[in-house]
A and B are shown apart, each in its own frame.
Chain A
Amino acid sequence: MTIGKNIPRVDAFDKVTGRAKYADDLVPTGTLIAKVLHSTIANGLVKKIDTSKAKQVPGVIEVFTCFDVPDIVFPTAGHPWSTNIANHDIADRKLLNTRVRYYGDDIAVVVAENELTATEALKLIEVEYEEYTPLLTIEDAMNGDALHEEYPNNILASTKYNVGGVSFEEALENNDVKIFEDEFEVPTVQHCFMENPNSYAYMESGKIVVVTSTQIPHIVRRVIGQALDIPWGQVRVIKPYIGGGFGAKQDVLYEPLNAWVSKMLGGKCVKLELTREEGFINTRVRHAMKIHIKSAVSENGRLIARKVKMFSNQGGYASHGHSVVAGAAHVVKQLYQDEVATDVEFTTVFTNLPVAGAMRGYGVPQITFALEAHMENVAKEMNFDNIELRKINMIKEGFVDPLNSIPSLTNELDQCIEIGAKHLNFREKHKKYSNQEGHIRKGVGCAIFSYKTGVYPISLETASCRMILNQDGSIQVQVGATEIGQGADTVFTQMAAEITGITYDKVYIMSAQDTDVTPYDSGAYASRQTYVSGHAVKKCGLELKQKILDYANYLKESEIAVDIKENHVLDKDGNKIIHVSEVALESFYHRENSKHIAAEATHHCDTNTISHGTTFVEIEVDLKLGLVKILDIINVHDSGTIINPKTALGQVHGGMSMGIAYALSEELLFNPKTGEAYNGDLLGYKIPTSLDSPDISCKFVEKYDPSGPFGNKALGEPPTVPVAPAIRNALFNATGIKYNQIPLTPERIFNKVKDKGLI
């Protein structure tokens, strides 16, 4: 048994010794360097670009501008393709753009012999713009001229749904309720992947080869084909080890431009690597949102009806577009069910800010902050127990989403709450801290969440796996799903060992994906891989095992081989018949019947399931300095079976750190006049350091989920989701002040404390 064991990560040794090769470690000598020229206005038109001086710099090979690129718009979102045109992602950008839509838009590219020359040449390019007023806020954008002609008022999409068949207003009739209303605001944040996006491209055998740091190699292949208008088979994408993505690399970034530049230079190898500053502005960010919630609650704490209105700031291009706020909006009726009616309206608006796309949690951290802060406000105003209020209304086992049919097949949320509450002695402390004086105060807070595992039935879920038996009885495993730091390769290895009966040390997973070699998978996103791709590994493993058994029976001229355990083929009584290595060797070199044993399987996934959990946190706040210190924090997760407790813990720690930063410090700020970021670097943007990160606790409540390949469900994204509202609720407990905007920066904390006369 390897499932459920703390098996060391398969890539641990290579990564800690520096032996693991990332894209930049593989760049061939003599590779040319491409650098992108970014606009210095947020909204406008490039009228003219003079590249003559730049081209004269010795070592500059070529300069291409937005007037040179093919007239093709393409989509960038890392969604599986759809053969139904109605489901296509919005195609709204060219390789380089004359219509500038955010400060830093791509308008030209220099190719030079080295980085320094390319950088110097960029400075010599002269650009003439026609400038328009930057539209940075949702309000300004909805009242301004369209950034994309097809979208008047800059509304990318606006959608409504209703559960209950009656409106919020109708639900109030004949019901004795109290009404509560809140407005929340969440910021633009950035992923801060450790490895900046980088790629290199060259041509070989009539193909364009692109080696890139991506979560989604097969999608990158398709989009390069679309952007360059060449058959997809002429594109080969290779994904080596990558240093994190968190959703930013679930978008096709500069790979098409890199491929095109190489093609224009006759297939010469060209590298395009972003700086950290470009990483902040020119990749993707998390959507800033404004969320308005109105609730009608009965005297006994039952949510009778809610009305939620959300606005999502998309930035200059569609990327994942409306699907992120949609992902958020659908949680409203999933986490809590209203007795009579749920009315939700959500709108995505183009603005002149950096492009928002996927980021760990896909809109759910945003809505969960609002929902859970609101519940806390309601509990306080009603003088109702905050845990009880949640329990009365929250998602229960057997819940099936009324709109998308996603079920909560197993649900240990109640358990998660009790474990978290016990860990902190929450109920007692919450009472105790509700009435404090002085400027150093403590507070406890909690929040719950629910999260769907994959994206079925909203989008296609498909994954494949190939296994090949080696001469020595070991196997190679190839998956289209990508290791991006989350530990996917390790759990796939565990799964393959579990299913085939070949021991873990003899299972070699190929970490790199090569679209010419690796079977198809949409990539690493959502919290889908152990679930969706795990099914493919399971199916493929069963197939391979059967083939090994068949060959063993052929060799033994019998039908007695029925199972494999610990590399031995066994009969029905568990007696060892033959070692897998013997079967393997014979299968390769048998003079009459050589048979290279391999299996390949696709899992077309038509299930989904919801995972749940909580954050409980205790803080201390210095009201005069506006500083919050986390004294104790725990996440308790209901993620079904935990495949590898140690790597699972790593996921939770990372996700919680991200959530803590979302609550307290991270926020991209922009000059309101120009749209230029003030803090698009690691100094100005306050991602926590190890000294800012508290000790983190985590527990799992394991219950076998029947739809998962091994009883498992989502864990990749969920740890981030409930952290920010829990911290906010702890500050509410400490101060009695409703902070409805994050991050809770010192000045934001201080200003309200001062206004309320607490100091």
Chain B
Amino acid sequence: MYNIKKMYNAETISDAVKFLTDNEDAKIIAGGSDVLIELRHGKLPNATLLNIRDIKEMQGIELINEDIIIKPLSTFTEIAENQIIQERIPMLAEAVNTVGGPQVRNIGTIGGNICNGITSADSASTLFTLDAELEITGPDGTRNIHIKDFYIWVAEVDLKQGELLTKIIIKKESYENYFGHYYKYAKRNAMDIAIQGCAVNCKLSDDKTKLENVRIGFGVGGPIPLRCFETENKAKGKLINNELIDEIGKSVLEEVNPRTSWKATKEFRLHLAQELSKRVLREAIERAGGHIND
């Protein structure tokens, strides 16, 4: 039994936008795997809920001119099993498969995972390394932003009154010829939240000896998911070898900023950032057909 004042069932995006505009305190609910927990813990007293899970326009995964359009109501299971995703960006399937357990993956949506604004979201760091663009729809129409600009602070994202996330767009040039890997470091193999998550996406030179481009993302590397842009820039065009990997591992330490909590100390998380970035990068390079020379 939860303390819910009212719930509205939106059928279209414009319907949802109107309700959100009219109800300042409305909380969007899709799969409910976050919202119901907040309700249970009494964190949303007297809640006004906007249910969006029946909005058809927000469901499904499409390919438009080889750009991948993931609608935010896609569940983790749908993403993991989708052919477009599996063929073009398998690392996202890999990432969402680490969320909770099968039941959570069957109801939890990728839109909710992002809009929740939490640094440990398993899909977020991967979407960062895919340069995902987000389409936001509000009373004044739509706007598109890079996912890194969407995250503002813990549980705070760039959604203004009346707005909701309506598309996740991964452009062809963001994924074509890229190979990636996501590793979730947690204390359990299921039903857990990352102590740290690391995603690396890379593109190699034609002869597979150089890193043409690399994108490194972290969950729980700081208060919000982040990219290591400076490290990426330093690594671009470099010859692939152990030295480079060690260099990258050291360099990410300048860009992550984890904190100490009862779950893990800052020192351990920093160690993990270095170790995971190296391991995940190695795996991504190998998936891209590269070879790490000693």
Beta-carbon contacts of A687-719 to B below 8 Å, as 1s and 0s?
011111000000000000000000000000000
> Closest Cβ of chain B: how far from A8's Cβ, in Å?
28
What are the interface flags for B63-75 relative to A under an 8 Å C-beta threshold, 1 for contact and 0 otherwise?
0000000000000
Which residues of chain A (625-660) have a CB below 8 Å from chain B?
625
In the complex, which of the residues A123, A665, A683, A750 contacts B271, with contact meaning CB atoms closer than 8 Å? Answer: A750
Q: Are A688 and B188 in contact (CB under 8 A)?
A: yes
Q: How far is the CB of A115 from chain B (nearest CB, A)?
A: 5
B40 — nearest CB in chain A belongs to which residue?
A275
B185 close to A692 (CB less than 8 A): no
Chain A residues with CB under 8 A of B262: 669, 671, 678-679
A282 to B81, CA, bound (A): 42
A267 within 8 A of B: no
The answer to whether B185 and A625 have CB atoms under 8 Å apart is: yes
Query: Mostly helix, strand, loop or mixed at chain A's interface?
Result: loop
Residues of A within 8 A of B2 (CB): 116
* A140 touches B (CB below 8 Å): no
> In the bound complex, what is the Cα–Cα distance between A679 and B264 (angstroms)?
13
User: How many residue-residue contacts, CB under 8 A, span A and B?
Assistant: 51
Residues 33-62 (chain B) with a chain A CB within 8 angstroms: 42
Mask of B262-273 contacts with A, CB within 8 angstroms, 1/0? 111100100110
- Residues of B within 8 A of A (CB-CB), count: 21
Bound form: Cα–Cα A726–B263 in Å:
26
In the complex, are the beta carbons of A665 and B188 less than 8 A apart?
Answer: yes
A665–B265 Cα distance when bound, in Å, is 17
Check A691 against B275 for contact (C-beta < 8 Å).
no
Select the residue from B187, B188, B265, B268 with max chain A CB neighbours within 10 A: B187
Q: Nearest-CB distance from A363 to chain B (Å)? A: 27
Q: Which residues of B contact A679 (CB under 8 A)?
A: 262
Complex Cα gap A417–B191 (Å):
36
Name, among A115, A625, A669, the residue most crowded by chain B CB atoms within 10 Å (CB to CB): A625
Q: How far is the CB of B189 from chain A (nearest CB, A)?
A: 4
Find out whether the CB atom of B42 lies under 8 angstroms from the CB atom of A119: yes
Decide: B188 and A686 in contact? CB cutoff 8 A: yes
Is the CB–CB distance between B187 and A123 below 8 Å?
A: no
Q: Are B3 and A120 in contact (CB under 8 A)?
A: yes
Cβ-closest chain B residue relative to A691:
B189
Cβ–Cβ < 8 Å partners of A625 in chain B:
185, 272, 275
Are B1 and A683 touching (Cβ within 8 A)?
A: no
CA distance A678 to B42 in the complex (A): 18
Q: Assess whether A745 is interfacial by the CB under 8 Å rule.
A: yes
| B3, B185, B262, B263 pick with most chain A CB within 10 angstroms | B262
Q: Is the pair B191, A683 in contact by a Cβ cutoff of 8 Å?
A: yes
| Complex Cα–Cα for A750 and B275 (A) | 12
**Smallest beta-carbon distance A353→chain B, Å:** 15
Contact of B189 among A119, A692, A747 (CB under 8 A): A692
Does A243 reach chain B (CB closer than 8 Å)? no
Give per-residue flags for A720-731: 1 if the beta carbon is below 8 A from chain B beta carbons, else 0. Answer: 000000000000
Given contacts A116-B1, A119-B42, A679-B262, are A690 and B187 in contact (CB under 8 A)? no
Answer yes or no: A114 CB below 8 A from chain B CBs: yes
A120 / chain B contacts, CB cutoff of 8 Å: 3
CB pair B190–A691 under 8 Å, yes or no, is yes
B193 at the interface (CB under 8 A from A): yes
By a CB distance below 8 angstroms, the chain A residues around B264 are 747
What is the bound-complex CA distance between A665 and B263, given in angstroms?
Answer: 12
Chain B contacts of A678 at CB under 8 A?
262
User: Hey, which chain A residues are within 8 Å of B272, CB to CB?
Assistant: 625
Q: In the assembled complex, which residues on chain B have CB atoms less than 8 Å from the CB atom of A116? A: 1-3
In whole angstroms, what is the CA distance A283 to B262 when docked? Answer: 23
A624-B275 in contact (CB<8A) = yes
Q: Which of chain B's residues have a CB closer than 8 A to the CB of A485?
A: none
CB <8 Å contact, A746 and B101: no
Kindly state whether residue B173 has any CB partner on chain A within 8 Å: no
Inter-subunit contact B187/A665 (CB<8 Å): yes
Q: Which of B189, B192, B265 contacts A683 (CB 8 A)?
A: B192
Residue of A nearest to B264 (CB): A747
Closest A residue to B272 using CB positions? A625
Assess whether B193 is in contact with A683, with CB atoms less than 8 Å apart: yes
How far does the alpha carbon of A120 sit from the alpha carbon of B264 in the complex, in Å?
34
Fill in one digit per residue for A665-689: 1 if any B CB lies within 8 Å of its CB, else 0.
1000101000000110011101011
A49, B123: Cα distance in complex, Å = 47
With A669-B262, A683-B192, A683-B193 already in contact, the answer to whether A746 and B187 are too (CB < 8 A) is: yes
Contact flag A123-B42 (CB < 8 Å), given A665-B187, A691-B188: yes
User: Which of B1, B188, B190, B192 sits near A115, CB closer than 8 Å?
Assistant: B1
Please indicate the chain B residues that have their CB under 8 angstroms from the CB of A746 in the complex: 187, 268
Q: Are A690 and B190 in contact (CB under 8 A)?
A: yes
In the complex, besides A116-B3, A689-B188, A746-B187, 5 extra interface pairs with C-beta distance below 8 angstroms are A120-B3, A123-B42, A625-B272, A669-B262, A689-B189
18 A-B interface contacts by CB (under 8 A): A114-B1, A119-B1, A625-B275, A678-B262, A682-B191, A683-B193, A686-B188, A689-B101, A689-B188, A689-B190, A689-B191, A690-B190, A691-B188, A691-B189, A692-B190, A747-B265, A747-B268, A751-B268
Report which B residues bind A (CB closer than 8 A). Answer: 1-3, 42, 101, 185, 187-193, 262-265, 268, 271-272, 275
Chain A residues proximal to chain B, CB less than 8 Å = 114-116, 119-120, 123, 624-625, 665, 669, 671, 678-679, 682-684, 686, 688-692, 745-747, 750-751
| A-B interface, 7 closest residue pairs, ranked by CB to CB distance from nearest | A691-B189, A116-B1, A678-B262, A689-B190, A691-B190, A747-B268, A115-B1
